[in-house]
Amino acid sequence: MSHECSECGKGFDTERGLNIHKRQMHDEEKQENNVEDTDTTETHKPENKETETSKEQSQQSIKLTAKQFGGITFATGLFLGLALGMMLGGFSEVQGAPAVDIDGNSDGNSPSGSNIVELSNTKYPYADLEAGIGSGEKTYGDTTFKLDGEPYIGSPDAEVTAVSYEDFECPFCKRYNEGAYPQIVENYVRNGEVQYFFKNLPLPQLHPWSEPAALASECALNQDAEAFWTFKKGFFSNQDQLGNAHKNGNFDKSMYRWAEQTGLNKEKFQSCYDNKEEMDEVNQDKQEAGDNGAQATPSIIVNDELLEGAQPYSRFESTIQSKLQ
Protein backbone atom coordinates (compact mmCIF):
# COMPACT_ATOMS: atom_id res chain seq x y z
CA MET A 1 0.00 0.00 0.00
CA SER A 2 1.67 3.16 -1.24
CA HIS A 3 -0.77 5.78 -0.02
CA GLU A 4 -1.14 6.37 3.74
CA CYS A 5 -3.66 8.60 5.45
CA SER A 6 -1.89 11.34 7.45
CA GLU A 7 -4.87 11.52 9.82
CA CYS A 8 -5.21 7.89 10.88
CA GLY A 9 -2.37 6.03 9.19
CA LYS A 10 -4.63 3.76 7.15
CA GLY A 11 -3.09 2.59 3.88
CA PHE A 12 -4.60 2.52 0.38
CA ASP A 13 -3.48 1.09 -2.95
CA THR A 14 -4.49 4.16 -4.95
CA GLU A 15 -4.53 7.90 -4.42
CA ARG A 16 -8.21 7.88 -5.42
CA GLY A 17 -9.01 5.49 -2.58
CA LEU A 18 -7.12 7.65 -0.12
CA ASN A 19 -8.95 10.79 -1.23
CA ILE A 20 -12.34 9.10 -0.92
CA HIS A 21 -11.40 7.88 2.54
CA LYS A 22 -10.37 11.38 3.64
CA ARG A 23 -13.58 12.94 2.29
CA GLN A 24 -15.85 10.34 3.84
CA MET A 25 -14.11 9.92 7.19
CA HIS A 26 -11.99 12.86 8.24
CA ASP A 27 -13.80 15.70 6.51
CA GLU A 28 -17.04 14.52 8.12
CA GLU A 29 -15.32 14.28 11.51
CA LYS A 30 -14.07 17.84 11.15
CA GLN A 31 -17.54 19.04 10.25
CA GLU A 32 -19.03 17.27 13.26
CA ASN A 33 -16.38 18.78 15.54
CA ASN A 34 -17.08 22.24 14.19
CA VAL A 35 -20.78 21.80 14.87
CA GLU A 36 -20.08 20.65 18.42
CA ASP A 37 -17.74 23.59 19.04
CA THR A 38 -20.34 26.03 17.76
CA ASP A 39 -23.08 24.56 19.94
CA THR A 40 -20.82 24.75 23.01
CA THR A 41 -19.92 28.37 22.33
CA GLU A 42 -23.57 29.39 22.02
CA THR A 43 -24.47 27.48 25.16
CA HIS A 44 -21.75 29.26 27.15
CA LYS A 45 -23.03 32.69 26.05
CA PRO A 46 -26.50 33.02 27.55
CA GLU A 47 -28.44 36.14 26.64
CA ASN A 48 -30.82 38.05 28.93
CA LYS A 49 -34.58 37.85 28.40
CA GLU A 50 -34.78 41.20 26.63
CA THR A 51 -32.16 40.16 24.12
CA GLU A 52 -33.81 36.75 23.63
CA THR A 53 -37.22 38.35 23.08
CA SER A 54 -35.79 40.78 20.58
CA LYS A 55 -34.02 37.92 18.80
CA GLU A 56 -37.24 35.86 18.61
CA GLN A 57 -39.17 38.80 17.16
CA SER A 58 -36.44 39.36 14.62
CA GLN A 59 -36.48 35.69 13.60
CA GLN A 60 -40.27 35.71 13.26
CA SER A 61 -40.05 38.82 11.13
CA ILE A 62 -37.44 37.16 8.90
CA LYS A 63 -39.55 33.96 8.60
CA LEU A 64 -42.67 35.95 7.73
CA THR A 65 -40.80 37.93 5.12
CA ALA A 66 -39.39 34.73 3.60
CA LYS A 67 -42.84 33.15 3.43
CA GLN A 68 -44.30 36.25 1.85
CA PHE A 69 -41.46 36.39 -0.66
CA GLY A 70 -41.84 32.69 -1.48
CA GLY A 71 -45.59 33.09 -2.00
CA ILE A 72 -45.12 36.05 -4.29
CA THR A 73 -42.43 34.21 -6.25
CA PHE A 74 -44.63 31.11 -6.61
CA ALA A 75 -47.64 33.12 -7.73
CA THR A 76 -45.58 35.04 -10.25
CA GLY A 77 -44.03 31.85 -11.63
CA LEU A 78 -47.43 30.15 -11.85
CA PHE A 79 -48.93 33.11 -13.71
CA LEU A 80 -46.06 33.28 -16.16
CA GLY A 81 -46.17 29.50 -16.69
CA LEU A 82 -49.88 29.50 -17.43
CA ALA A 83 -49.56 32.44 -19.74
CA LEU A 84 -46.72 30.77 -21.61
CA GLY A 85 -48.71 27.53 -21.84
CA MET A 86 -51.66 29.37 -23.39
CA MET A 87 -49.36 31.01 -25.90
CA LEU A 88 -47.91 27.64 -26.94
CA GLY A 89 -51.29 26.01 -27.51
CA GLY A 90 -53.04 25.23 -24.23
CA PHE A 91 -52.56 23.42 -20.95
CA SER A 92 -53.71 19.90 -21.75
CA GLU A 93 -50.91 18.61 -23.99
CA VAL A 94 -47.29 19.14 -24.91
CA GLN A 95 -46.85 19.17 -28.67
CA GLY A 96 -44.58 16.42 -30.04
CA ALA A 97 -44.10 14.53 -26.74
CA PRO A 98 -44.99 10.80 -26.85
CA ALA A 99 -47.30 9.48 -24.16
CA VAL A 100 -45.39 7.41 -21.63
CA ASP A 101 -46.82 4.87 -19.22
CA ILE A 102 -45.81 4.45 -15.60
CA ASP A 103 -43.00 2.11 -16.60
CA GLY A 104 -41.49 4.73 -18.87
CA ASN A 105 -42.53 3.00 -22.09
CA SER A 106 -43.84 4.92 -25.06
CA ASP A 107 -47.38 4.11 -26.14
CA GLY A 108 -46.15 3.83 -29.70
CA ASN A 109 -48.17 6.75 -31.07
CA SER A 110 -45.13 8.89 -31.73
CA PRO A 111 -42.74 8.25 -34.63
CA SER A 112 -39.93 8.82 -32.13
CA GLY A 113 -41.29 6.34 -29.58
CA SER A 114 -38.93 3.99 -27.78
CA ASN A 115 -40.54 0.71 -28.91
CA ILE A 116 -37.40 -1.34 -29.43
CA VAL A 117 -38.33 -5.03 -29.51
CA GLU A 118 -36.09 -7.41 -27.58
CA LEU A 119 -35.85 -11.17 -27.79
CA SER A 120 -37.44 -12.85 -24.79
CA ASN A 121 -35.48 -16.03 -25.56
CA THR A 122 -31.98 -15.48 -26.93
CA LYS A 123 -30.96 -19.14 -27.06
CA TYR A 124 -30.90 -21.43 -30.08
CA PRO A 125 -34.33 -23.11 -29.95
CA TYR A 126 -33.13 -26.62 -30.85
CA ALA A 127 -30.41 -27.35 -28.32
CA ASP A 128 -29.88 -31.00 -29.29
CA LEU A 129 -30.41 -30.58 -33.03
CA GLU A 130 -27.72 -29.90 -35.60
CA ALA A 131 -27.84 -26.49 -37.30
CA GLY A 132 -25.66 -25.83 -40.29
CA ILE A 133 -25.23 -24.26 -43.70
CA GLY A 134 -25.86 -26.34 -46.81
CA SER A 135 -23.71 -26.91 -49.88
CA GLY A 136 -24.29 -27.89 -53.46
CA GLU A 137 -27.81 -28.61 -54.68
CA LYS A 138 -30.44 -31.35 -54.70
CA THR A 139 -32.86 -32.35 -57.44
CA TYR A 140 -36.10 -34.30 -57.07
CA GLY A 141 -37.90 -34.73 -60.39
CA ASP A 142 -38.37 -31.26 -61.86
CA THR A 143 -37.54 -29.54 -58.56
CA THR A 144 -34.01 -28.31 -57.87
CA PHE A 145 -32.86 -26.71 -54.65
CA LYS A 146 -29.68 -24.65 -54.48
CA LEU A 147 -28.51 -25.34 -50.95
CA ASP A 148 -25.11 -23.66 -50.93
CA GLY A 149 -25.05 -21.24 -47.98
CA GLU A 150 -28.65 -22.00 -46.95
CA PRO A 151 -29.54 -22.63 -43.27
CA TYR A 152 -30.76 -26.04 -42.20
CA ILE A 153 -31.57 -28.13 -39.16
CA GLY A 154 -31.36 -31.89 -39.07
CA SER A 155 -29.08 -34.50 -40.55
CA PRO A 156 -27.45 -34.03 -43.99
CA ASP A 157 -27.95 -37.79 -44.41
CA ALA A 158 -31.73 -37.52 -44.09
CA GLU A 159 -33.81 -39.38 -46.66
CA VAL A 160 -36.21 -36.47 -47.17
CA THR A 161 -35.46 -32.82 -47.85
CA ALA A 162 -37.99 -30.14 -46.91
CA VAL A 163 -37.47 -26.57 -48.08
CA SER A 164 -39.70 -23.85 -46.68
CA TYR A 165 -40.19 -20.48 -48.40
CA GLU A 166 -41.56 -17.98 -45.91
CA ASP A 167 -42.26 -14.32 -45.20
CA PHE A 168 -41.54 -13.28 -41.60
CA GLU A 169 -44.45 -10.81 -41.55
CA CYS A 170 -46.96 -13.23 -43.08
CA PRO A 171 -49.70 -14.17 -40.57
CA PHE A 172 -50.17 -17.56 -42.23
CA CYS A 173 -46.47 -18.28 -41.85
CA LYS A 174 -46.85 -17.46 -38.16
CA ARG A 175 -49.76 -19.89 -37.95
CA TYR A 176 -47.69 -22.59 -39.67
CA ASN A 177 -44.76 -21.98 -37.31
CA GLU A 178 -47.04 -22.32 -34.31
CA GLY A 179 -48.90 -25.35 -35.66
CA ALA A 180 -47.54 -27.93 -38.08
CA TYR A 181 -43.89 -26.88 -38.14
CA PRO A 182 -42.98 -27.75 -34.49
CA GLN A 183 -44.51 -31.20 -35.00
CA ILE A 184 -42.51 -31.76 -38.19
CA VAL A 185 -39.35 -30.89 -36.25
CA GLU A 186 -40.19 -33.14 -33.32
CA ASN A 187 -41.39 -36.14 -35.32
CA TYR A 188 -39.17 -36.13 -38.41
CA VAL A 189 -36.23 -33.74 -38.14
CA ARG A 190 -35.05 -34.93 -34.74
CA ASN A 191 -35.03 -38.59 -35.74
CA GLY A 192 -32.89 -37.87 -38.81
CA GLU A 193 -35.53 -38.57 -41.47
CA VAL A 194 -35.94 -34.96 -42.68
CA GLN A 195 -33.35 -32.28 -43.32
CA TYR A 196 -35.19 -28.97 -43.10
CA PHE A 197 -34.06 -25.86 -45.00
CA PHE A 198 -35.39 -22.31 -44.81
CA LYS A 199 -35.45 -19.75 -47.63
CA ASN A 200 -36.72 -16.19 -47.64
CA LEU A 201 -39.72 -15.22 -49.73
CA PRO A 202 -40.64 -11.70 -48.52
CA LEU A 203 -43.65 -10.01 -50.10
CA PRO A 204 -42.99 -6.29 -49.43
CA GLN A 205 -46.03 -5.22 -51.43
CA LEU A 206 -48.13 -6.86 -48.72
CA HIS A 207 -45.77 -6.79 -45.73
CA PRO A 208 -43.58 -3.67 -45.43
CA TRP A 209 -41.02 -5.04 -42.92
CA SER A 210 -40.71 -8.51 -44.41
CA GLU A 211 -37.75 -7.55 -46.60
CA PRO A 212 -35.69 -5.90 -43.80
CA ALA A 213 -36.43 -8.96 -41.66
CA ALA A 214 -35.22 -11.30 -44.41
CA LEU A 215 -32.06 -9.21 -44.73
CA ALA A 216 -31.50 -9.31 -40.96
CA SER A 217 -31.84 -13.08 -40.90
CA GLU A 218 -29.24 -13.45 -43.66
CA CYS A 219 -26.85 -11.10 -41.87
CA ALA A 220 -27.25 -13.18 -38.69
CA LEU A 221 -26.60 -16.35 -40.70
CA ASN A 222 -23.33 -14.83 -41.95
CA GLN A 223 -21.97 -15.05 -38.43
CA ASP A 224 -23.74 -18.00 -36.81
CA ALA A 225 -26.14 -20.66 -38.09
CA GLU A 226 -27.82 -21.07 -34.71
CA ALA A 227 -28.42 -17.31 -34.46
CA PHE A 228 -30.38 -17.50 -37.71
CA TRP A 229 -32.90 -19.89 -36.16
CA THR A 230 -33.12 -17.71 -33.05
CA PHE A 231 -33.95 -14.73 -35.28
CA LYS A 232 -36.51 -16.81 -37.18
CA LYS A 233 -38.32 -17.81 -34.00
CA GLY A 234 -38.12 -14.23 -32.74
CA PHE A 235 -39.81 -12.86 -35.87
CA PHE A 236 -42.87 -15.05 -35.52
CA SER A 237 -43.04 -14.71 -31.73
CA ASN A 238 -42.96 -10.90 -31.96
CA GLN A 239 -44.83 -10.26 -35.19
CA ASP A 240 -47.23 -7.64 -33.79
CA GLN A 241 -44.56 -5.88 -31.75
CA LEU A 242 -42.25 -5.68 -34.77
CA GLY A 243 -45.08 -4.18 -36.79
CA ASN A 244 -45.35 -1.39 -34.24
CA ALA A 245 -41.58 -0.97 -34.19
CA HIS A 246 -41.58 -0.57 -37.97
CA LYS A 247 -44.30 2.09 -37.78
CA ASN A 248 -42.33 3.95 -35.10
CA GLY A 249 -39.03 3.79 -36.97
CA ASN A 250 -37.46 1.38 -34.49
CA PHE A 251 -37.30 -1.82 -36.53
CA ASP A 252 -33.63 -1.36 -37.45
CA LYS A 253 -32.71 -0.64 -33.82
CA SER A 254 -34.55 -3.79 -32.79
CA MET A 255 -32.42 -5.81 -35.21
CA TYR A 256 -29.23 -4.28 -33.83
CA ARG A 257 -30.43 -5.23 -30.35
CA TRP A 258 -31.14 -8.81 -31.43
CA ALA A 259 -27.60 -9.06 -32.80
CA GLU A 260 -26.27 -8.02 -29.39
CA GLN A 261 -28.57 -10.39 -27.54
CA THR A 262 -27.54 -13.40 -29.62
CA GLY A 263 -23.83 -12.65 -29.20
CA LEU A 264 -23.15 -11.55 -32.77
CA ASN A 265 -20.57 -8.93 -33.65
CA LYS A 266 -22.82 -5.87 -33.68
CA GLU A 267 -20.59 -3.78 -35.94
CA LYS A 268 -20.35 -6.50 -38.59
CA PHE A 269 -24.07 -7.19 -38.38
CA GLN A 270 -24.96 -3.52 -38.65
CA SER A 271 -22.67 -3.04 -41.64
CA CYS A 272 -24.22 -6.04 -43.39
CA TYR A 273 -27.74 -4.85 -42.60
CA ASP A 274 -27.32 -1.14 -43.32
CA ASN A 275 -25.50 -1.79 -46.60
CA LYS A 276 -27.95 -4.53 -47.65
CA GLU A 277 -25.05 -6.83 -48.35
CA GLU A 278 -27.25 -9.94 -48.51
CA MET A 279 -30.15 -8.63 -50.60
CA ASP A 280 -28.84 -10.58 -53.60
CA GLU A 281 -29.19 -13.75 -51.52
CA VAL A 282 -32.77 -12.82 -50.60
CA ASN A 283 -33.60 -12.15 -54.25
CA GLN A 284 -32.06 -15.47 -55.32
CA ASP A 285 -34.32 -17.26 -52.82
CA LYS A 286 -37.33 -15.45 -54.29
CA GLN A 287 -36.30 -16.39 -57.82
CA GLU A 288 -35.89 -20.05 -56.89
CA ALA A 289 -39.28 -20.05 -55.20
CA GLY A 290 -40.88 -18.89 -58.42
CA ASP A 291 -38.95 -21.43 -60.47
CA ASN A 292 -40.22 -24.21 -58.20
CA GLY A 293 -43.82 -23.01 -58.34
CA ALA A 294 -43.96 -21.35 -54.91
CA GLN A 295 -46.11 -18.25 -55.38
CA ALA A 296 -47.49 -17.83 -51.86
CA THR A 297 -46.28 -18.00 -48.27
CA PRO A 298 -45.75 -20.31 -46.62
CA SER A 299 -44.75 -22.76 -49.35
CA ILE A 300 -43.10 -25.96 -48.20
CA ILE A 301 -41.68 -28.35 -50.77
CA VAL A 302 -41.09 -31.90 -49.55
CA ASN A 303 -38.66 -33.43 -52.07
CA ASP A 304 -40.74 -32.48 -55.12
CA GLU A 305 -44.20 -31.99 -53.64
CA LEU A 306 -45.43 -28.47 -52.96
CA LEU A 307 -47.70 -27.70 -50.02
CA GLU A 308 -48.97 -24.13 -49.80
CA GLY A 309 -50.43 -22.39 -46.80
CA ALA A 310 -50.79 -23.12 -43.09
CA GLN A 311 -52.12 -26.60 -43.63
CA PRO A 312 -52.78 -29.04 -40.79
CA TYR A 313 -49.94 -31.23 -39.59
CA SER A 314 -51.68 -34.36 -40.91
CA ARG A 315 -51.20 -33.10 -44.47
CA PHE A 316 -47.45 -32.73 -43.97
CA GLU A 317 -47.26 -36.04 -42.15
CA SER A 318 -48.85 -37.97 -44.97
CA THR A 319 -46.60 -36.25 -47.55
CA ILE A 320 -43.40 -37.00 -45.62
CA GLN A 321 -44.44 -40.60 -45.04
CA SER A 322 -45.00 -41.04 -48.77
CA LYS A 323 -41.41 -39.94 -49.45
CA LEU A 324 -39.85 -42.31 -46.93
CA GLN A 325 -38.91 -45.66 -48.43
Is the peptide bond preceding residue 151 cis, with omega within 30 degrees of 0? Answer: no
Question: Residues 225, 263: contact at Cβ < 8 Å?
Answer: no
Question: Residues 299, 164: contact at Cβ < 8 Å?
Answer: yes
Domain co-membership, 182 together with 303? yes
Domain co-membership, 26 together with 150? no
Dihedral of CA atoms 208, 210, 212, 216 in degrees, nearest 10, equals 160
CA 191, distance to chain mean position in Å, is 34
For residue 216, count other CB atoms closer than 10 A to its CB: 27
Tens place of pLDDT for every residue, the chain, 325 residues?
A: 454 767 877 563 434 333 333 433 455 454 444 433 333 323 333 344 343 333 344 344 333 343 443 444 444 444 444 343 333 332 222 222 222 222 223 333 333 346 899 999 999 999 889 999 999 999 999 999 999 999 999 999 999 999 999 999 999 999 999 999 999 999 999 999 999 999 999 999 999 999 999 999 999 999 999 999 999 999 999 999 999 999 999 999 999 999 999 999 999 999 999 999 999 999 999 999 999 999 999 999 999 999 999 999 999 999 999 999 7
Domain range for 180: 131-323
Domain co-membership, 36 together with 135? no
CA distance 115 to 243: 10
CA distance 278 to 3: 57
Residue 151: which CATH number? 3.40.30.10
- Structural domain includes residue 69: no
Domain co-membership, 33 together with 143? no
Domain co-membership, 188 together with 302? yes
Predicted TM-score (pTM) above 0.85: no
- Structural domain includes residue 84: no
- Structural domain includes residue 72: no
- Structural domain includes residue 309: yes
- Structural domain includes residue 117: no
Domain co-membership, 175 together with 28? no
Amino acid (1-letter code) at residue 23? R
CA distance 106 to 118: 15
- Structural domain includes residue 94: no
Domain co-membership, 241 together with 141? yes
